[in-house]
Amino acid sequence: MEKFNCCSSCFVSGNIPVKTIKSLNHAGIVGMSMHSYNTIQSFYIVPATLSLWEFKQHLFLDHVLGTGQALKLSGDARCSSPGHTVKYGSYTLMDVQTSKVVDIQLVQFMKEEKVYISDLVTDRHSQVKKYIRTQQEGINHWFDVWHMAKGLKQWGRRKQNIVLQWSRSISNHMYWCAASNGELVRHKWTSILNHISDVHESLRELFPKCLHDDVNRNWIKSVCNLHFFTGNQIHVEVEQIVFGRLLLKDIQKLSPAEQTPSSESFHNTIFYFATKSRHYFSDQMKTKKNNYSFLLFLISKSNTCITF
């Protein structure tokens, strides 16, 4: 029984078995061997974790089918083998209204379970966009604002001029635009270029002028003596980003409400149990990284205790 408890505690804490065994040996504590750990993990821990995961999953799906409600899901991919390859990569689908993981694979599983999905919030991966557009036409596909704004911030950090000072404001402007919909989002988004140039009125029919009062720009003059005017290099750099063909096409699909922070938090929980620098076999990948991480994430969200 002591070996079982020792193996279980090593598994659920996310510790590396080899290091745990060496630590116990150096301390003179009789614990477990790698053979014992692998045996107990294969015959007891893995089956118990899979069983509890399936029970919780079916419990949630039965509730959804019973109420007949449509799910609003957020999706995020995770590829965590060494070298950031796609080996054993998975796609997590989470209900944004309850922060519960619905499944860790593709949307097709939801169709097989006859669960109706009304909305899906993901990042802008081209493969995902094409799959939803061609295979799941009835689903409203939205893009997560956080992922798009993150890309803008990273672009701004690479600049060593006045663009760097504007990167955060441009990112915040994207969040504000997302509260609108359709063509109005695009008009609000493109207005940022005029705003930076200190031009606050335009010929845009849906958004003819900025909504703010007079603004003080002394903070720019104090850090940089470059002036932002139409046609100079700085203006061209920002224009290439704001009026990017793909960005203008996707900006109208920014999610106005639901986002993917819970999916990101869940993946951070997975990375705690298995880093990207180590290789795991299929059963370990499915159990330790996906299923048990979900159960632990569920505990943290509900403040309850789950026992095997």
Q: What string of pLDDT tens digits covers the 308 residues of the chain?
A: 678 888 888 877 777 788 888 888 888 887 788 888 888 888 888 788 778 777 877 887 888 788 877 777 776 665 554 444 444 556 677 777 776 666 555 445 555 667 677 888 887 878 778 878 888 788 888 888 887 887 777 766 666 556 667 777 888 888 888 888 778 888 888 888 888 777 778 777 788 888 877 766 665 555 444 456 666 777 777 888 888 888 888 888 888 766 655 556 665 666 555 555 555 555 555 555 555 555 555 545 554 444 44
Domain assignment of residue 225, given as a range: 145-253
CATH number at residue 118: 3.30.420.10
Judge whether 202 lies within some domain.
yes
Looking at the structure, tell me whether residues 226 and 164 fall in a common domain: yes
Residue that the structure tokens 């695009």 belong to: 186
Looking at the structure, do residues 268 and 135 belong to the same domain, yes or no?
A: yes
Query: H-type helices in the chain, by residue range?
Result: 2-13, 17-26, 34-40, 46-67, 108-112, 126-135, 145-157, 162-178, 183-196, 218-223, 233-242, 245-250, 261-273, 282-284, 292-302
Q: What is the rounded CA–CA span in Å between residue 100 and residue 72?
A: 11
Please report whether residue 209 resides in a domain: yes
Say if residue 126 is in the same domain as residue 268.
yes
115 plus 199 within the same structural domain: no
Residues 175 and 199 in one domain: yes
Q: Tell which of 253, 271, 287 closes a domain.
A: 253
Residues 153 and 132 in one domain: no
